A and B are shown apart, each in its own frame.
Chain A
Amino acid sequence: MGAEATQATWKKVVWYVVLTTLTLVVLFPVYMTLVRALSTPAAYVREGQPLYPVDVQWDVFRRAWDQGDLGRKVGISAIVTAVIVTLQLTTSLLAAYAFTFLQFPGRRILFVVFMATLMLPIEVTLIPNVQTIRDLDWLNSFAGLTAPFLATAFGTFLIRQGFMGIPRDLKDASQLDGFGHMAFLRRVAIPVTRPVIASFAVISFLAAWNQYTWPRAVVTEGRWETIQIGLRSLSTSTVDQNNISFAAAIIAALPVLALLIFLQRQLIRGLTAGAVKG
């Protein structure tokens, strides 16, 4: 083996050491949460809070599921997320279609007005929006949990970008074939831009499942808590059995983790949309 080859091998080894070290650092918080979830709290503290689980209770996840009523909370989160993703997709597709393929007066202005909503995060409009929900008698309801998120300028923008990539010829050809607008949307535009739409759906899922501030504001009864809000309730209510709350956090993260692993490409494309050209 030549000197150069030896050097290359050493370089590889060094990079593996660096990457492994970074992996341990990034995963350490998760590992410790797993340790604490599995340990019996009192025994763990008595042992001096070590790096390994003490008096392991493997049934902690089932107990968290029962005691924390996580089935219900996960169910509410799932319904809220499904409604938000489905409606955001629908409203964004329709709006993006109008902005891309239809000629109408005030199109440019209206597009700017739509995009302006990106500067109004829910934290800013929280107080009056909660009032609206209260006036509509929508506190503690699916309507209240989802209403402000049923449309999004981000989706309109992203899908419009995708639509603009459709060659004019395709549009003209489909017109010659006698396709109306809705047929063109369904049979050509949506299939052609599927990657963009999928990326947006994944981002939409991520945001809807993980949101905290809005559900925290419009839920006042425990039985309407989403899983994220449930995590807070558990972390405050069970001091001597905080293993339950740590187990719940792991359960809450699982759906998104699965998404990350199976739909990594769509997720990354969605997250980097706008960040990197090309």
Chain B
Amino acid sequence: MMATAEHGSGLQIKPMDQFVVKPLFGDGPIEWYTPTNVTLWMGIAILAMVALLVLSTRRRAIVPSRGQSVAELFYGFIHKMVEDIVGHEGLKFFPYVMTLFMFVFLSNFLGLIPTSFTTTSHIAVTGTLALLVFVTVTVVGFVRKGPAFLAMFWVTSAPLALRPILALIEVISYFVRPLSHSVRLGGNLLAGHAVIKVFAGFAGAMGVASFVPVLAIAAMYGLEVLVSAVQAYVFTILTCVYLRDAVGEAHH
């Protein structure tokens, strides 16, 4: 993420280089099974998750250590979110929601390490996550409620004349969900990381005045820390909101 001073003339900023998917070994074509930097950083995310939630809790202490407190904090945070939004029925989906949250949260933060690769800045990743949620919600909704699941598109609180129009809008918004869900997350991370890289390019080109972009990078980095946490939170809470459509009581 940090700019190695761009030698040569003028501004030669390549903010997108950090997002390139590369094979870990050799320089061959990228097949679906090739271990790439995606593999590496997702693996690191798994290790971080294991360290955070498994290793830190191995003593199962009644009075928790610091690590265990953090693990319990994550558990309690997501557990409460699922229970509050989806309802008690939704707790079956707690491991699922927790998986999404931990993956997005840890990937976002691992992406903040300079020179790292941000898996969640790729639309392929966030899109897959969002489609998973979309498919889960749709399947669970039809399995649990049957055709009554479609009632969520029929806004009974609106005047009868408006209902078909509203139903159309609701259906469109339902199918746009995976798009907004994924682009929100991927776009936020992509934009932030790219902007930092652009500033870093300025710093390389500005000589003595380079402290200005460096300060800007520090400020952006702070913002990106916030964005990483907030976007993980937003992604998870939206997942819960969508799951409520499938699991919870009708709410429109």
A, B from the same assembly: no
Chain A residues with a Cβ under 8 A of chain B = none
Interface of B toward A, CB cutoff 8 Å: none
